[in-house]
Structures are given as C-alpha cells and as structure tokens.
A and B are shown apart, each in its own frame.
Chain A
Amino acid sequence: MSPAAEPFVGATSSTPVRHHILSVLVENKAGALSRIAGLFARRGFNIYSLAVAPAERHQRFSRVTIVVDAESAPLEQIVGQLEKLVNVVAISDLAPRNALERELLIATIQVNVNNRRTLLNDIESLGASIVDVDAFGLTVMLAGTPGACDELERRLDNYDEVEIHRTGRVALPRLGPRLVD
C-alpha cells in the first residue's frame, strides 16, 4: 500500500502487531522516494508509516524510516527487494525491541477557556506541551514514543474539534553501531 493512500493506519490503531523498522539510506535523487513507495505498492508490502529527511552530515543522502508490516510479506523479501533499488545505499533492519523509536504529534483542540484545565491534566502527564494559544483553542505537541502518541490521541478523542498530525516514527538502534559514518 502506498503511503499516500493509507498513511496513518498504525497511528489510529496503535502499533502494528508484527512491525519492523527499516532505516533506509537513499541517494538524494529525483524519484528515489517514489521508487521505494512504488516497490512497496507493486510487491504488496504494507507500510504503516514513513518519514523522510536529509541524513546527518551527508548532503547526498536522505534517511527514510519505514515502519513495515512484517505480516504482509517476509521481512527478508522486503529487504531483498529494497536492496536492489540502485538508489538505496544501506538498509538497517531494527527489531522494535532493539530500537529507540520516537514520533512527533501536534494537535489543535478547539476548547473554551473553562475546559482547559481538564485538557491540561490530560496532556501534561504524557509530557506534551502547549505551543500555541488563542481564544478558541490551543495547539499542543508531543515528541515521544509511538505509544505515548497513541495515548495522547486516545485522550484527545474526548474533545469535539481536534485536528491531529503525526510525523510517522523515526528510529535509531539502542546504543548500537552507527548506520553511516
């Protein structure tokens, strides 16, 4: 499934049952991302989330963090096919237990001044903070584990007018060797 069509499956239904995190270093070339997305679509591999940004210190490369559904296809197949993309330079497969996963959630909640105390109680214990305020509502953010983001999203379900954006997760191995030096 292409990320454009179904990007947030994992975000609304909590963490997929058997997911794996692929940290993929790709050349910063036109079409590189669409090659990855196209590969997942045509081979029937499911993506739960996908995050892309320039890789540290390497202007030539971007890092794509893909949370894959390891039940839609064997991980070996997914990695093997990804490796064949000429623009893919390195793939690191992070099992969830060995990975440090983080995600950013921002949400705007339309809430009148009288009800804000309840909202603050709901979000502060999760480590979320307020980044914008006006008379009609406020915007909060949480940079945390996917589980914490799921929990925040669940709590925000109690409010009527909420707009939530999540980035999809990024991950690094726990105190392991670096991907690229």
Chain B
Amino acid sequence: MELTGAQALIKSLEQEGVETVFGLPGGAILPVYDPLIDSTIRHILVRHEQGAGHMAEGYALATGRAGVAIVTSGPGATNIVTPIANAHMDSTPLVVITGQVPTGSIGSDAFQECDITGITSGITKHNFLVKSAGELPRAIAAAFHLATTGRPGPVLVDVPKDVSQSKMEWWWPSSIEDLDLPGYHPEVELDEDAIAAAIALIETAQRPVLYVGGGTLKSRASKELLAFAERTNMPVVTTLMARGAFPDSHPQHLGMPGMHGFYTAVTAMQKSDLLISLGARFDDRVTGRLDGFALDAKVIHVDIDRAEFNKVRRADVALHGQVAAIISALDAGLEKTSHYEPWWRQLRDWQASYPLAYDEPVADGPLRPQAVVEAIAQRAEPGTIVAAGVGQHQMWAAQHWRYEEPGTWINSGGAGTMGFGVPAAIGAKVGRPDRTVWAIDGDGCFQMTAQELVTARSEGIPIKVAILNNAYLGMVRQWQEMFYDERYSEVYLSPDLPDYVKWAEAMGCVGLRATNLDEMKRVIDEANSINDVPVVIDFRTDATEKVFPMVPSGETNDAIMVHPSQRGGAS
C-alpha cells in the first residue's frame, strides 16, 4: 500500500492506539493535518502550543498512557519546549511531533526553521529527525516504546515537510528488534543478592520509612505498596510526585515530605534509621540541606534508572528495576516483621502535636485559601482529579486535598512550571471524561495559560477552575516577607485586573466569584451543578496567608517551621 509520509505518520499513531492528539497546525506540519481529517484520532485545537504540551502531560498523568502533541516548526516547536522540559523532569511519557522545513532547506535559516532536535536533546529521553518517509513508522513506534518503557519521558519526532509529502510503501515494525534501538534495554533482571541485602536491612531496622516517589505511580505499584506497607506496618510518606500512590486516608500514611511537607512526614524521614526509597530521587525539595538530611538512616534505593543511585545520597543497597517487581520480591523474601511500636508512639505523638494548621476562617472574608481547597474537596465526588499550577496554591492543594488513588493528582513537580494547571486539567478531562476535574490555580498561573479555556469550551471539555486569587505572585511574596525583610519586589498583581469573571465569560465559560464563606460554599455547589461548560471561580483569598510547614531554603529539615499557632514548644 503506497502512502504519503503524512498518511503513514497518522496511520502509525493509529497503530499505537492513539485516540487523542493536542496540537496546532502551521506551514511545515500542514501535510500531516490533511490525513487527520480522515482519521479516527480526535485532534484538539489549542490556542498556544504550550497548551498542547501541558494537555498531553495532563492526559498522560491521568491515564498512564503517552500523551501526544503535534505542532509546526520554528516557533511552534519552541513554544512546546517548556512542556517537554517539564515532562522530562517529571518522567511523563510524551510523544511530540514537530514539523520541520524540507530536508534540502535544513541549515539554511529557512522560514520557521529551528534546530529543535538540538534544542531538546538535553530535555528529551530521545529525539529523532526523520530523513525519509519510509522511516516514519519505525520512528513513531520507537518514540512510543521509548516514552513509555523504562523510566518514562518525552520523545520528540521532527518531520521535515518533504518527508511528509513524499511517498512510501506502508509497513509497520512487527517486533522490538525492528525498532533498531541497539543501545536501549529497559528490561532489568532482579539482583537477588541485593534483594537479600535489603531484606537484612529491613529486618534489623527500628525506625523505617517507606519514601514513596513518582516512580511508584509510573511503575503502577500502588497495590504492591499497600500490601507491603500493611504487612510490615511501616509508615509511608508520599512525595509531591507520588500523591495518590498510597491512600491519604490510610492510618499508616504520614503525608507529604519536603519543604512544605507535613511535620511528621518530614521529621520521620529525618529521624529514620532506614529509608526505603521507592522511585524517588532525593530531590533537594525533599532533603533540605543534604549534609543534615536523615543522618542516622541507611538507604535502600529502588529505581528503574541506575543513574539515580548515589547521585544525591549514597545508597546502602541499590535495587535496580521496576518498583512493583522489587516490592513483590522484598515481600516474598521478608520473613521477620516488626510492629515498630516505639516508633509509632513517637510518630503519633508528632502527629498530635503538629497537625496541618491554618488560621481560623473569618465569616466575611477574605477567604483562607486552605479552607477553599478543603471546601471543594468536601463537595467533590470520590475519584475527582485535581490539577495545579505552581506556587502556594499548589502546596495547599497537595496538603489539604485527600488523594486516595493513582492519577488523581496532576502537577508540575521538578520543573515548577507556572501555568501548568489549566491545560493539564483539560488534558486530564479528555483522558478521563468520566471524572470531575478541578484545576486549583493561582491568579499568577492562571494568567499564563488561561486562553486554553477557549479550547476547553469549543471542544466541549467541562473542567472546573478554582483561582485562589490573592492578587500576588504568592510564593515569591511569601519568601520576600520571610527572608527579604518584607521588601516586596514585583509581586503585586491586583485582585480585579483582569476581571476573572468577565474573562471567563468572554471565553465561553461560566464565571463565578466568592469573597466570603457563604459565597464560597454557594459557588462551589453551583460549579458542581454545571457539567456542560467550563466553570471558573474567582476566590478572593487572604494575601498574607503563607504555606506552612516550611523548611527554609538552605537549612536542614530539622529547621522546619510549623504554623505560628504551634510554635513555642518544640520545633
């Protein structure tokens, strides 16, 4: 069967089972958009290429499948660099297809030319510049294989215009060998000696902590984790990237560790004698100052990426492989278990002394942002998905919502990409139309990517957006208040410029506003009753609210600052 390169590209996506792509056409990718008309694949036309990338990420994080974006060359390609970098930091499977100028023009500074494979070589797992139409099926199949196996990540396929226009004889790779990836071997054999060494450490530990990272979700290991945790009675912490990997309602769950983690989660790691890291990478936001981090702890480090071992923290035992398989192997080999009663007494004591806290709500506003998150959570049906931007609102959403299952928390962790929330929520809703999806956003973040609500309205994707509008770049404001003598530099945004309700309405959404507790409850109920169009709520929140607990930057986790109402005694 003779096809054009463009037809072969679309057919390759169909072969990979792709149902939805996010994109925006342009000159160099034009040929690819023609066969899309005849395809079963749904294309969602975004308003900015960054939106396509974050939507693909949201889709991937909600479904566990690769998200796909198609954009044109030059600025189309550079506009999606931020989502690619974001996906690379958070190991999110993404396949990004970019148009490129014709092969004969490459290197001539042609119109809308840019070296996107060069630009993204450091922020993709791999990328391809396809030189002939016959190579397209292999490049697409290899891109999906690379994006979704081993440590997942973004893969970019750059397709010159003449390649998509020229003819090829259709074929499809029938095996992994056909992908021609001689340097890629994601499958790992378990090291039995290392498993035995890990079990020996576990059997002598008095104060263990299961330190659960995003790799546990990527490895779909929640079931194994729950069984292992319950059998061993070990305490569990879930990092920002792992919220939902272990139910927040579970009594063994101490919550999120890190710079804005729960006191008990942070301190448990700090005082632990054995950290069992499951797909986590000892990120600086978790460890605080490294030379004071968990000094008594031995480390069992489980990861699919060997380069994570000893990168930040020396591992006493490194276990290379999929988290799920390794937890099962540990479970099978472990004979002696302990109840860790003295350890749990200590942990319960900390929990009782330092629960999450914030100031009492005041009836006539301004609203406490934490109370807004809790009110939305209380009124949300089980399984609701939450997507966040980056900043204070993200931390409050991570702290005050209870995540019970994988894929319900979607955020930008490693890269900290402001503006992630709205498009990621749209992508998540496309992937899981059966679920309610809330974007919990900040006013600063919302202004970066809000135009994608036009996409949401026109494509019939009814997400709900809660703007915690404190009129500031809140996290920066918090640092300036605490560490720069309240010298506020370029952080004020204004509560009503733009008018978020009018802006929402202009984009075809329902716009609501709440300035006090009564209005807050009423507008949340109203938003929950609307299921056909996107809803945006402008919650006027207290600008002076700060995220606590907090480990100041550059300090060890021992310096954790709890809410002012809890200070005076310990900490």
Contacts and interface: CB of A to CB of B under 8 A. Distances in A.
B497 interface: no
Contact of B183 (A77, A80, A85): A85
Interface stretch (A12-20, A27-35, A96-104, A108-116): A27-35
A178 interface: no
B307 A83 contact: yes
Given A30-B129, A31-B121, A34-B118, A87 B183 contact: yes
A39 B125 CA distance: 12
Interface string A80-124: 110111111110000000000000000000000000000000000
Given A30-B129, A34-B118, A86 B307 contact: no
A84 B306 CA distance: 9
Given A77-B310, A80-B307, A84-B307, 11 more contacts: A39-B122, A76-B310, A77-B311, A80-B306, A80-B311, A81-B307, A85-B183, A86-B183, A87-B183, A89-B182, A90-B183
For the residues of A in contact with B, the DSSP-based class is: mixed
A88 to B, nearest CB: 5
28 contacts: A26-B183, A27-B182, A31-B117, A31-B121, A31-B129, A34-B118, A35-B121, A38-B121, A38-B122, A39-B122, A42-B122, A74-B310, A76-B309, A76-B310, A80-B305, A80-B311, A83-B307, A84-B125, A84-B305, A85-B183, A86-B125, A86-B126, A86-B146, A86-B181, A86-B183, A87-B126, A87-B183, A89-B183
A59 to B, nearest CB: 13
A161 B125 CA distance: 48
A42 B121 CA distance: 11
Contacts of B183: 26-27, 85-90
Contacts of A83: 306-307
B309 A80 contact: yes
Nearest to A84: B307
Contacts of B309: 76, 80
Contacts of A26: 183
A42 B120 CA distance: 13
Nearest to B146: A86
Which of A27, A34, A86 has the largest count of B CB atoms less than 10 A from its CB?
A86
Interface residues of B, number: 18
Interface string B136-172: 0000000000100000000000000000000000000
Nearest to A73: B311
A171 B181 CA distance: 26
B282 to A, nearest CB: 13
Contact of B184 (A31, A74, A86): A86
B103 to A, nearest CB: 12
Nearest to A82: B307
Interface of B: 117-118, 121-122, 125-126, 129, 146, 181-184, 305-307, 309-311
Contacts of B121: 31, 34-35, 38
Contacts of B307: 77, 80-81, 83-84
B397 to A, nearest CB: 32
Contacts of B125: 84, 86
Contacts of B181: 86
A86 B181 CA distance: 7
Contacts of B310: 74, 76-77
A96 to B, nearest CB: 22
B135 to A, nearest CB: 12
Interface in A158-178: none
A120 B315 CA distance: 56
Nearest to A42: B122
Contacts of A85: 183
B561 to A, nearest CB: 32
Contacts of B305: 80, 84
Interface string A19-49: 0000000110011001100110010000000
Contacts of A60: 182
A42 B88 CA distance: 14
Contacts of A34: 118, 121
Contacts of A27: 182-183
A62 B43 CA distance: 41
A89 B182 CA distance: 6
A45 to B, nearest CB: 12
B505 to A, nearest CB: 45
B266 to A, nearest CB: 27
Contacts of A86: 125-126, 146, 181, 183-184
A27 B307 CA distance: 21
A68 to B, nearest CB: 15
B311 A31 contact: no
B374 to A, nearest CB: 41
A84 B308 CA distance: 11
- Give the top 4 A-B pairs by smallest Cβ distance, nearest first: A80-B307, A86-B126, A89-B183, A88-B183
Contacts of A88: 183
Contacts of B122: 38-39, 42
Which of A30, A38, A80, A90 has the largest count of B CB atoms less than 10 A from its CB?
A80
A84 B125 CA distance: 8
Nearest to B123: A42
B273 to A, nearest CB: 25
Contacts of B184: 86
A10 B181 CA distance: 34
Nearest to B182: A89
Contacts of B146: 86
Nearest to B151: A84
Nearest to B142: A86
Nearest to A91: B183
